[in-house]
């Protein structure tokens, strides 16, 4: 069974499931049909029993969970391609919804430790020195056995490292108070953007994104990203983290009849924009190696030029919608897009890209042996699901009956770095309070001793003076009496 993507001159343009993990690219100007193509592909993979994960930037993809109601141009396209006779009919896909902010889907979280210092540094926009500090903080936490689960854990570790920098600098390197302050300010901004909702527990279980329903169809996991994309670094880093987690969690597998999972990365240019060389190297590595885990990655963006050449060369299945060449830069991008296909003598790819209508595309896929096919100008097959968003009530009903309903809604806050460091700080404060109290008592004892000794000395001195005075008077009287007596006797 193959995934029908389009029809070109009466010939089917398909994606071979065996080659679906060789990744792909969907490009085109705004309004040319990229989102509809993405939905058609997601439905096709689901029908093959392949789970799908995708971010919903505009909210339109939620319609995949409801049967479509073909009308107008969509109904005409179905009739023109004779799709009804081939089993194309309105049908919903099994779907589940996630949302970092917990409003339009089940909460979607990971921990600070799982995110790692490299991606967190990118989210915060840190420079090289500040990123080095972030790596240092993670290393100290690991060595001290302190879990970093949420933002308050990371803030506590930063404060701890700053306070104890004289202790740590010899082993871990210089700790600049200015860098600590910059990272703390970055964490504050991240919290204001909703990062505190994303970083914490329970963390998403990768297995929950790789489920099938009772009919063997792959479940489509949709991440609501209309608000998340307003924080582009958070959005792109979140999806890259998920790819990295899939790479780490899934075992190697040989060539299989179909992928384990297909991952659609919409607005892919945000992933590569302003990315540090170390991050670009990581992205290239993940894309290159994750197909051995049975995961296919499909980037969705406007221009092929948005994707670095090192990554672009690994994308075997390509769908190119229309591009508008109004400027020299646009014309250059159009020529580059046309030259990236295996040329078809019957098609002028460069001219065709500028002429394509909505729902029409240049398509090149890999054959079962992995060889790129010649580019075809095709009409894209419409989705079987609803085109456009579902209502909030429908979304809530689907969430209530989801396979993961109730699993991630209740936040967990177990003992981690924040609690342990707070307890240590409280113990130190109590010890200092007791020491200060003991010193105060010791001062009072000494003062009391000094006051008591002074009174005794005064009494002794007074008594001595009194005795001396009395004795002196007695001796004086005796002498006087002796003298007078002698005189009188004489």
String of DSSP letters for 46-66 = HHTT--EEEEESSSGGGGGGS
Cα torsion 188, 192, 193, 194 to 10°: value is 100
User: Residue 485 has what pLDDT?
Assistant: 47
User: Residue 105 has what pLDDT?
Assistant: 95
Element (H, E) at 319: strand 317-320
Tell me the Ramachandran region of residue 145: left when phi exceeds 0, alpha when psi lies from -120 to 50, beta otherwise.
left
3-state helix, strand and coil shares in percent for the chain, rounded to the nearest 5: 55, 15, 30
Does the predicted TM-score (pTM) go above 0.75? yes
| Distance in angstroms (rounded) separating the CA atoms of residues 52 and 113 | 26
> 26 φ, ψ to 5°?
-120, 120
User: Residue 75 has what pLDDT?
Assistant: 93
DSSP 388: S
User: Residue 459 has what pLDDT?
Assistant: 47
How many Å separate Cα 227 from the centre of its chain? 15
DSSP 305: G
| Distance in angstroms (rounded) separating the CA atoms of residues 59 and 57 | 6
How many Å separate Cα 385 from the centre of its chain? 30
Cβ(362)–Cβ(13) below 8 Å: no
User: Residue 472 has what pLDDT?
Assistant: 53
Under 8 Å CB-to-CB from 172, ≥6 apart: which residues? 136, 139, 140
User: Residue 276 has what pLDDT?
Assistant: 79
User: Residue 460 has what pLDDT?
Assistant: 47
User: Residue 448 has what pLDDT?
Assistant: 81
| Distance in angstroms (rounded) separating the CA atoms of residues 428 and 148 | 22
Q: Which parts of the chain sit beneath pLDDT 70?
A: 451-490
Element (H, E) at 135: helix 128-144
Token pair for residue 293?
């885990």
């Amino acid at each position: 069974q193959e995934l029908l993507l389009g029809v070109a001159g009466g010939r089917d343009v398909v994606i071979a499931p065996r080659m679906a993990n060789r990744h792909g690219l969907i490009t085109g100007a705004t309004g040319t049909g990229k989102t509809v193509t993405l939905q058609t592909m997601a439905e096709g993979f689901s029908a093959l029993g392949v789970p799908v994960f995708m971010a919903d930037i505009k909210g339109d993809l939620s319609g995949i969970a409801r049967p479509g109601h073909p009308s107008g141009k969509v109904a005409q396209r179905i009739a023109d391609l004779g799709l009804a006779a081939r089993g194309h009919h309105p049908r919903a896909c099994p779907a589940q919804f996630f949302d970092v902010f917990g409003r339009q889907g089940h909460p979607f979280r990971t921990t600070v430790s799982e995110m790692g210092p490299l991606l967190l540094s990118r989210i915060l926009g840190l420079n090289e020195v500040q990123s080095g500090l972030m790596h240092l903080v993670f290393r100290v936490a690991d060595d001290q056995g302190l879990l970093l689960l949420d933002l308050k854990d990371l803030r506590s570790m930063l404060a701890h490292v700053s306070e104890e920098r004289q202790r740590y600098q010899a082993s871990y390197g210089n700790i600049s108070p200015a860098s600590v302050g910059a990272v703390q300010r970055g964490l504050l901004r991240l919290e204001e953007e909703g990062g505190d909702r994303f970083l914490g527990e329970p963390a998403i279980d990768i297995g929950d994104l790789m489920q099938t329903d009772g009919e063997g169809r792959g479940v489509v996991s949709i991440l609501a990203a209309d608000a998340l994309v307003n924080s582009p670094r958070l959005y792109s880093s979140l999806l890259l983290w998920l790819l990295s987690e899939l790479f780490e969690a899934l075992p190697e597998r040989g060539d299989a009849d179909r992928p384990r999972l297909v991952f659609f990365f919409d607005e892919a240019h945000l992933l590569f924009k302003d990315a540090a060389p170390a991050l670009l190297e990581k992205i290239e590595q993940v894309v290159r190696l994750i197909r051995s885990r049975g995961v296919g990655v499909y980037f969705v963006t406007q221009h092929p030029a948005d994707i670095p050449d090192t990554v672009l060369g690994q994308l075997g299945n390509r769908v190119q919608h229309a591009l508008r060449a109004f400027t020299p830069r646009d014309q250059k991008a159009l020529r580059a897009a046309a030259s990236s296909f295996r040329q078809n003598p019957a098609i002028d790819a460069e001219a065709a890209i500028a002429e394509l209508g909505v729902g029409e595309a240049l398509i090149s896929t890999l054959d079962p042996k992995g060889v790129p096919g010649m580019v075809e100008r095709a009409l894209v097959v419409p989705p079987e699901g609803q085109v456009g968003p579902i209502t909030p009530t429908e979304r809530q009903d689907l969430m209530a009956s989801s396979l993961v309903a109730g699993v991630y809604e209740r936040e967990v806050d177990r003992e981690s770095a924040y609690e342990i460091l707070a307890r240590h700080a409280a113990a130190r404060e109590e010890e200092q309070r007791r020491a200060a109290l003991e010193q105060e008592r010791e001062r009072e004892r000494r003062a009391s001793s000094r006051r008591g000794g002074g009174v005794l000395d005064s009494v002794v001195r007074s008594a001595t003076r009194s005795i001396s005075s009395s004795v002196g008077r007695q001796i004086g009287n005796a002498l006087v009496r002796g003298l007078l007596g002698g005189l009188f006797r004489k």
